[in-house]
Amino acid sequence: MLEIRNLHARVADTDTEILRGLDLTVKAGEVAAIMGPNGSGKSTLSYIIAGREDYEVTEGDILYNGESILEMDASERAASGVFLAFQYPLEIPGVATMTFLKTALNAQRKARGEGELTTPDFMRRVKASAADLKIDPAMLKRPLNVGFSGGEKKRAEILQMALLEPRLCVMDETDSGLDIDALKIVSDGVNALRSPERAFLVITHYQRLLEHIVPDTVHVLYKGRIIRSGGKELALHLEEQGYAQVIDEAA
Ligand code: ADP
Ligand code: MG
Ligand code: MG
């Protein structure tokens, strides 16, 4: 589903490469964990897959279902099923969460040639997904993420993901800012969305999240490259040994 080849990228108008020859393959149905020390390029990778404009790919390619997406803008990628759950979800004053969700969902349906959902249909869906994620319906009337706790923001991200039914879900440090109960709710929400047609890129600094969302593969990102790949046991190994040993071996 996702094949990244020799990806080099930088922030637009700077000389510093952040991704420096990254290779990664993720199959449909797979949950791939990306782990790595702070500053290794994890968020940059997520932005570049999603098509953030102020980043520049200088070499290599990103294939999604066999086709390069480098020429597609962020909304085209979203319409084709790419979803990014942000590490730091933005607050959008003046836009009710419910309005945001309905607009996003209908824009995506339109791009896919599907008709708009009726309000009762939409309400049924959003209420069911919100209940699964233990989101208070009153929260949906509040402006998106404004005054939400860290855990509420992350649950709002997963609510968007559940409604938009993406094919490739990129989740950037969804566990940061979550207490243990919220971690369980979010993980259950993600696990319910696992399917043979859908792939996940779960980015995390810690092994803790991967006890709840058990990955098929684990990849270590360091200085803009994948320096080690393995199965779920690699995450445990990193938790016990830290990143230093894997970094030394790669050097
Ligand atoms: P991670 O998510 O793994 O902590 P990031 O992708 O956020 O890492 O950052 C990778 C590196 O790129 C860091 O050294 C960071 O300082 C640098 N970087 C990220 N964004 C920018 C930016 N907008 N301008 C300059 N450097 C940046
Ligand atoms: Mg970081
Ligand atoms: Mg980050």
Sequential DSSP letters for 4-46 = EEEEEEEETT---EEEEEEEEEE-TT-EEEEE--TTSSHHHHH
Taking CA atoms, 4 is separated from 31, 162, 231, in Å, by: 16, 25, 19
Q: How far is the CA of 119 from the centre of ligand 3 (A)?
A: 36
For the segment 87-106, the average pLDDT, to the nearest whole number, is 95
Which pLDDT score, from 0 to 100, does residue 112 have?
86
Residue 184 has which token pair? 């369980």
**Distance from C-alpha of 87 to C-alpha of 65, rounded to nearest angstrom:** 25
pLDDT tens digit string along 175-190?
888 888 889 988 998 9
Which pLDDT score, from 0 to 100, does residue 182 have?
87
Ligand 1 contact via 38 beta carbon (within 6 Å) = yes
Q: Coil, helix or strand for 224?
A: coil
Q: Whose CA is nearest to atom 15 of ligand 1?
A: 39
For the segment 218-234, the average pLDDT, to the nearest whole number, is 97
Which pLDDT score, from 0 to 100, does residue 205 have?
86
DSSP annotation of 213: S
Ligand 1 contact via 42 beta carbon (within 6 Å) = yes
pLDDT over 90 (residue 235): yes
- For residue 38, what pLDDT band results from cuts at 50, 70 and 90? very high
What ipTM is given for this predicted complex?
0.95
Taking CA atoms, 98 is separated from 26, 123, 132, 139, 231, in Å, by: 32, 9, 16, 9, 39
Q: How far is the CA of 156 from the centre of ligand 1 (A)?
A: 25
Which pLDDT score, from 0 to 100, does residue 111 have?
87
**Distance from C-alpha of 127 to C-alpha of 196, rounded to nearest angstrom:** 25
The CB-based long-range contact list for 104-107 (8 Å cut-off, 24+ gap) reads 104/160, 104/163, 104/164, 105/163, 105/164, 107/75, 107/79
Amino acid at 188: D
Ligand 1 pocket test, candidate residues 7, 35, 44, most atoms within 8 A of CB:
44
Ligand 1 contact via 108 beta carbon (within 6 Å) = no
Ligand 1 contact via 74 beta carbon (within 6 Å) = no
In this structure, the number of other CB atoms found within 10 A of the CB of residue 121 comes to 10
Which pLDDT score, from 0 to 100, does residue 119 have?
93
* Closest ligand to the CA of 42: 1
For the segment 141-167, the average pLDDT, to the nearest whole number, is 94
First to last CA, the chain: 30
DSSP annotation of 228: E
- For residue 251, what pLDDT band results from cuts at 50, 70 and 90? confident
- For residue 82, what pLDDT band results from cuts at 50, 70 and 90? very high
Which pLDDT score, from 0 to 100, does residue 138 have?
93
Q: What is the mean pLDDT of the chain?
A: 94
- For residue 218, what pLDDT band results from cuts at 50, 70 and 90? very high
Ligand 1 contact via 18 beta carbon (within 6 Å) = yes
β partners of residue 32:
201, 217
Which pLDDT score, from 0 to 100, does residue 229 have?
97
User: For the chain, what percent of residues have pLDDT higher than 90?
Assistant: 84
Q: What is the pTM of this model?
A: 0.94
Distance from chain centroid for Cα 112: 21
Q: How far is the CA of 44 from the centre of ligand 3 (A)?
A: 7
